[in-house]
Amino acid sequence: MKKEKILITGGAGYLGSVMTRLFLETGYHVLVLDNFMYGQSSLLDFCVFDSFEVVRGDCRDEALMKGLIKDVDAVIPLAALVGAPICNRDKIAAATTNRDAIQMLCRIAAPSQKILFPVTNSGYGIGEKGKFCTEESPLRPISFYGQTKVEAEKAILDRGNGITFRLATAFGASPRMRMDLLVNDFVYRALVDRALIVFEGHFKRNYIHVRDIARVFLHGLNNFETMKNQTYNVGLEDANLSKIELCALIQKTLPQFVYHQAEIGEDPDKRDYIVSNAKILATGFKPQWSIERGIKELIKCYTALGKVNLYGNI
């Protein structure tokens, strides 16, 4: 039986390098397109797979994309400028990569080709106090990053034959590490600095491990016909946590960690919402990584890396 071939743009990134390994190990043929803008070497271990291909290039290059997608069964377009700071620094690059490249992909892909797309659930912006955001909740992104991803999601859903996943804040170790993500950042500070000042610590958000993100894309491919043309929140049901609650969890594993909520000062990231993940759970998907398990993994990761903070998108 012929292996299905998957094109993953941004496959050398934080999500992509974990996802690429999972798809290869599951028996898929994986073609990665990446511009390697961070100089990462996260794909080197995959070169041993005969079913792995890699192309250095830009997902906005229409001629290149037309050549790459012509013989693939599915596309997972991860390539993006991820996070509010980097998008605010270069809004043209953010718009053309996060939104325009997806609109172009929807135009050039054959109707039979599947597209599975990651969206940030930061699109919910500031939720109603005590009310869970579902897939039916209004989208009110408060960052330019969130705006571009929400517009790209609309293009995917309007095209059809696709699935979009509204991802909670990711955490966990990856071959292309990101230390600027909230859980990853707090654990690093708890381990290395042993102290943290928290601004607007009551703000809540949802979380999901990077390996569970990879798993939900595999789940989507394996159940595509029953899940297609819909969007799904993907996060931990027991991890709608405020920043202060997250600090308390970290302190359980690292008792020497001291944190303090500042009475004065603002966090530039104003997201504040709680999310229901009931819809994805109803499809049979179940996350494997709790916040507590991820904290222990991150401690090992940072012990190996040492006191260096060079990995992020800021």
User: Does 1 have pLDDT greater than 60?
Assistant: no
Which structure tokens are listed for 75?
A: 């596309």
Which of 54-58, 126-130, 258-262, 266-270 has maximum average pLDDT?
Answer: 54-58
d(CA 201, CA 242): 6
Alpha carbon dihedral 283, 275, 13, 58, in 10-degree steps, equals 90
> 3-state class of 188 per DSSP?
helix
Using CB atoms within 10 Å of the CB of residue 22, give its burial: 0 to 12 exposed, 13 to 18 middle, 19+ buried.
middle
The residue count for the chain:
314
Share of the chain above pLDDT 70, in %: 96
Tokens representing 161 are 């034959």
Domain 182-205+238-305 in the same topology as domain 5-171+206-234: no
Q: Mean pLDDT throughout 166-171?
A: 96
Which residues have a Cβ under 8 Å from the Cβ of 193 and sit 6 or more positions away? none
Average pLDDT over residues 61-71: 97
Helix (H, G, I), strand (E, B) or coil at 230: strand
Render pLDDT for 94-140 as a digit per residue (tens, 0 to 9). 999 999 999 999 999 999 999 999 998 888 887 778 899 999 999 98
pLDDT of residue 271: 72
Mean pLDDT of 246-266: 92
In this predicted structure, the answer to whether residue 74 has a pLDDT above a threshold of 60 is: yes
Coil/strand/helix, residue 252: helix
Mean pLDDT value of segment 213-223: 98
182-205+238-305: CATH superfamily: UDP-galactose 4-epimerase, domain 1 (3.90.25.10)
Give the integer Cα–Cα distance in Å for 147 and 96: 13
pLDDT band of residue 42 (cuts 50, 70, 90) is very high
pLDDT recorded at residue 269: 67
What average pLDDT does the chain have? 94
Q: What are the tens digits of pLDDT across the range 296-313?
A: 999 999 999 987 766 766
| Model pLDDT, residue 142 | 86
Q: State in Å, rounded, how far the first CA of the chain is from the last one.
A: 44
4-32 residue pLDDT tens:
999 999 999 999 999 999 999 999 999 99
Q: What is the mean pLDDT of residues 274-285?
A: 97
Distance CA 295, CA 254 (A): 9
Residue 267 pLDDT: 67
Does CATH number 3.40.50.720 belong to domain 5-171+206-234?
yes
pLDDT of residue 268: 66
d(CA 193, CA 130): 33
**pTM score, two decimals?**
0.95
CB atoms within 10 A of CB 286: 12
Of residues 128, 125, 242, 229, the one with CA closest to residue 183: 242
Average pLDDT over residues 273-286: 96
As a whole-number percent, the residues of the chain with pLDDT over 90 amount to 84
Q: What are the distances in angstroms from CA 178 to CA 5, 78, 124, 225, 311?
A: 28, 15, 23, 33, 5
What is the mean predicted confidence (pLDDT) over 75-85? 94
Poorest-pLDDT segment among 26-40, 179-193, 265-279, 283-297 = 265-279
Q: What φ, ψ does residue 208 adopt, rounded to 5°?
A: -155, 140
C-alpha separations of 155 from 107, 108, 115, 314 in Å: 9, 13, 11, 27
Identity of the amino acid at 213: I
Q: Are strands 240-242 and 204-209 parallel, antiparallel or unpaired?
A: antiparallel
List the domain boundaries for the chain: 5-171+206-234, 182-205+238-305
pLDDT attached to residue 123: 84
